Structure 1
Amino acid sequence: MATEYGQGYAHRSERHHRLPAALRAPVEARSWREFGYVLLGLPIAIVLFTWTVTTVSLGAGLLVTFLGIPVLAAALAGCRGFGVLERARARGLLGVEVADPEPLRVAKPGALAWMGAMLKSGASWRHALYTLVQFPWAVFSFSVAVSFWTCGWALLTYPLWFWVFPAYAGEGGIQLYGDAHHSVYLDNPFEITVTALIGLVFTLATPWLVRALTTVDGLLVRGLLGPSRLSARVVELESDRGAVVDTAAADLRRIERDLHDGAQARLVALAMDLGLAKEKLREDPRAAARMVEEAHGEVKTALQELRDLARGIHPAVLTDRGLDAALSAVASRCTVPVRVEVDLPARPTPAIEGIAYFTVSELLQNVSKHSGARTASVDVWRSEDRLMLQVSDDGVGGADVSRGSGLAGLAARLDAVDGVLVVDSPAGGPTRVIAELPWRG
């Protein structure tokens, strides 16, 4: 059904856009929105430029007194307020989505702390720089866009209004040349037709010219009114740190739960059984021997649970023999046959190696529980400075990271170390999951 819907939408789009893009551009809503952006740009730029130059100059002149600091802070606050307007204008007319800049980091409440934070904020000064840079650009883009737009439409529609000249101006048409002895007017059918064709060329070219001008506007808005790369990276690292902390806490809770419900409970029962066996040792040696034999089996089970738990924390085979052997051990415990191929020139750092191991382990658990696959494969290789992992199966497919499943948590953990998780799992299969990790040898 999804395919049919997509095909139907494509057919409707083709019917709607039978004209080439170059011919329909002058009448498209997008072109008129971009032209409106340029028209609004000049008066807004005048206001912004006037505000910044006036207030910053006044504040700088008053720095010899204490009054300069609050004036400068108010100037920058006004620039940030204008930045909200400009981001909204770019979003509404150009479709340019720009995130808000980093907020002020005010150390403590109070006017002095707020003014200090405003003056120290790089985003505030970038907003002020935008008002200064955007003004000359707005003058240029307004002049070019309005000149080309009005000239193009005026010449294109000249056959409709050329009669105004002989009727009301006493001239044959638009005057191309004139002196005391000779004048040239666009007044015969051939000249009128050529004028309209020239207007058509201008009309068709103007939307693309305006689009190029507004592209520069979009770059200015993104570069000066959005968050800086450094602040965006800080936010990303803070988010990644939160994901790492949450993952570590979840792992600790899992280990605690496994110990409490598994090995610890089994060892408590074992201690009680041995106590009973000790009491029966003199009265009923055979029953005590049976109880000791059962306790011996419980000891083996508890040891196996402890080994499994230790393997879940960090398997010894990974430390001793690397990813190839460790992943082969994981594949052997999978419910479907798994082919493992590891082609690495060297071993990455233990941290990356551990993340790669647990990533493949969790993906193979998904294969066992949810895929309904008959076979699966694991491929590991290095591509430049990235460690690549691929887990494929021939199951029913339908895996989706956006559903908030275990894949979403796995993607968050990989993102915390600058990794990437890509899932390709159409309904009906097959499923292919690719994980990228930074190579740190």
Structure 2
Amino acid sequence: MATAYGPDTQDRRHQGAGPGFGANSPAKTPVKHFLPAPLRAPLEARTWRELLYALLSFPLATTAFVFAVTMTSLSAGLLVTFIGIPVLAVGLAVCRGFGALERHRARGLLRVEVADPEPVRGKTGGVMSWMGAILKSGVSWRHLLYALLHFPWATFTFVVAITFWSYGLAALTYPLWFWLFPVFGGQDGLQLYGDRTHQEYLDSPAELAVTGAIGLALVLAAPWIVRGLLSVDRLMVTGLLGPSRLASRVSELESDRGVVVDTAAADLRRIERDLHDGAQARLVALAMDLGLAKEKLADDPEAAARMVDEAHGEVKVALQELRDLARGIHPAVLTDRGLDAALSAIASRCTVPVTVEVDLDSRPAQAIEGIAYFTVSELLQNISKHARATRATVDVWRAADRLMLQVTDNGRGGASPAAGGGLAGLTERLDAVDGVLVVDSPAGGPTTVTAELPWRG
């Protein structure tokens, strides 16, 4: 069901009084390239970073592999004595050191953002406690596994990278240095074939051109081949050297719990402030006015009646403030009639015409429903204040086990979920319940904000 809402007359003078709809920085202009990606790849800094990573991987992986095999074998041979346990613990600790180096290399050269795992901490702080902790740590054993598995792959990648780049560059530049053979080597050029009766050299202009073309093909293919091989390195670094999924999930839940606690505390402070400055102050004044009216009732009934009438008006205002406050906590229409009616209500209060379309065959969990309501409410408030839009749409639908929200306006764009903005707060609130907020807002508009929430019906 699609419904359009909006005031009949719009006051355009107040639109655009603030910065762009959630904008904190201008939209980034895409970089224009004169060469297509296959041709510019050999000239890009990324290609040379990846080649350096592949070249450094061989000696580092060899060192780590030799150390891991040596310490593992030595500790296994000494397990019949107590010495094998500390040898194994030291070996695992050094493997974790190699892992830290690999993470730094991956961040610097491959631009892979992999978090550091939790450090090993013993319960009592002693040497025995430390050894027990490092032996029980799954992260330590994954670092050992990385040292064993990375060596053969790093060797293969090193050989392939060296072969393609060296042969490619040599063949590409062969027309420039083939003259060395007749001058200093005593032969016509690079020999392709030779026996007692026949020799074949690359020395004619056509052969030089074909050799250069083959070299160019190898040079153009080398970056993509190395990049494909290093995708395995990326998977190994993130899968074996980063924190485990369980540890990442625990850390994420702890962060989300902190966001929920902070949000709840901020909401409680807001409610307390609104009650103290609004309805409570008005009710105190009302009580004083009624007290004065009571005193004047016998002496001046007409003045008392006027004061009672004014107090009646104050009661109506206080009731409206309390209704608004209750709506800000959890609107009754949302509880009674669901998202369709609740979103239609807030759309009708927006300063621009809003089309609302809700396609839900059932209702999600109350908590998810409330977050969806307040998300759309804040996005529509941003549109009213900052977007300079003339129309907006709100779409709500269900996709498998996810509740999808999309708010679009034809305003000036430039919205950004950067830290400190309103969209950043929405992002944190949605993230606390495993939700996602995606902002697409190029400069000049239009702006599309998509929110994804778990259904949890």
TM exceeding 0.5: yes
Question: Which of 87, 106, 122 lines up with 1:90 in the alignment?
Answer: 106
1:419 paired with 2:435, answer yes
Distance 1:218 1:366, change over 3 A: closer
- Aligned equivalent of 1:393: 409
Give 1:301 deviation, angstroms: 1.8
Question: Which of 266, 272, 278 lines up with 2:288 in the alignment?
Answer: 272
1:134 paired with 2:153, answer no
SS in structure 1 of the partner of residue 395 of structure 2: strand
TM-score by structure 1 length?
A: 0.84
Q: Mean Cα displacement is larger for which, 26-35 or 346-355?
A: 26-35
Distance 1:332 1:64, change over 3 A: same
1:341–1:379 Cα contact (<8 Å) kept: yes
2:192–2:202 Cα contact (<8 Å) kept: no
- Aligned equivalent of 1:159: 178
Give 1:53 deviation, angstroms: 1.7
Alignment of 1:141-180 (within 5 A): 141-153=157-169, 157=174, 159-163=178-182, 167=186, 174=191, 176=193, 178=195
Q: Mean Cα displacement is larger for which, 182-191 or 284-293?
A: 182-191
Question: Which of 241, 246, 252 lines up with 1:230 in the alignment?
Answer: 246
1:159–1:196 Cα contact (<8 Å) kept: no
2:178–2:189 Cα contact (<8 Å) kept: no
Distance 1:183 1:48, change over 3 A: farther
Give 1:128 deviation, angstroms: 0.9
Alignment of 1:7-406 (within 5 A): 10=32, 13-14=33-34, 17=35, 30-104=46-120, 106-153=122-169, 157=174, 159-163=178-182, 167=186, 174=191, 176=193, 178=195, 182-187=196-201, 189=203, 193=208, 205-402=221-418, 404-406=420-422
Distance 1:365 1:208, change over 3 A: closer
Identify, as 1 or 2, the structure richer in helix.
Answer: 1
Give 1:257 deviation, angstroms: 0.8
Structure 2, unaligned runs of 5 or more: 1-24
Q: Aligned partners of 2:213, 2:412: CA distance in 1, in Å?
A: 60
SS in structure 2 of the partner of residue 163 of structure 1: helix
SS in structure 1 of the partner of residue 438 of structure 2: strand
Give 1:175 deviation, angstroms: 7.6
Give 1:200 deviation, angstroms: 5.9
Amino acid at match of 1:76: L
Structure number with the bigger relative contact order (C-alpha 8 A, sep ≥ 6) is 2
Give 1:355 deviation, angstroms: 1.1
Over the aligned positions, Cα root-mean-square deviation in angstroms equals: 3.3
2:417–2:439 Cα contact (<8 Å) kept: yes
2:408–2:446 Cα contact (<8 Å) kept: yes
SS in structure 2 of the partner of residue 342 of structure 1: strand
Give 1:315 deviation, angstroms: 1.6
Give 1:303 deviation, angstroms: 1.8
Question: Which of 400, 418, 425 lines up with 1:409 in the alignment?
Answer: 425
TM-score by structure 2 length?
A: 0.81
Give 1:78 deviation, angstroms: 0.8
Amino acid at match of 2:144: A
Q: Aligned partners of 1:309, 1:90: CA distance in 2, in Å?
A: 52
Give 1:49 deviation, angstroms: 1.2
1:166–1:173 Cα contact (<8 Å) kept: no
Q: Aligned partners of 1:393, 1:199: CA distance in 2, in Å?
A: 53
1:381–1:389 Cα contact (<8 Å) kept: yes
- Aligned equivalent of 1:435: 451
Q: Aligned partners of 2:354, 2:426: CA distance in 1, in Å?
A: 21
Q: Aligned partners of 1:370, 1:21: CA distance in 2, in Å?
A: 39
Amino acid at match of 2:181: F
Structure 1, unaligned runs of 5 or more: none
Deviations 1:291-344 (A, max 9, x none): 222222222222222222112111222111111222222223333443332221
Amino acid at match of 1:75: G
1:421–1:434 Cα contact (<8 Å) kept: yes
Q: Mean Cα displacement is larger for which, 286-295 or 193-202?
A: 193-202
Give 1:256 deviation, angstroms: 0.9
Identity of matched residues, %: 69
Q: Aligned partners of 1:297, 1:381: CA distance in 2, in Å?
A: 43
1:421–1:436 Cα contact (<8 Å) kept: yes
SS in structure 1 of the partner of residue 178 of structure 2: helix
Give 1:279 deviation, angstroms: 2.5
Give 1:205 deviation, angstroms: 4.5
Give 1:354 deviation, angstroms: 1.2
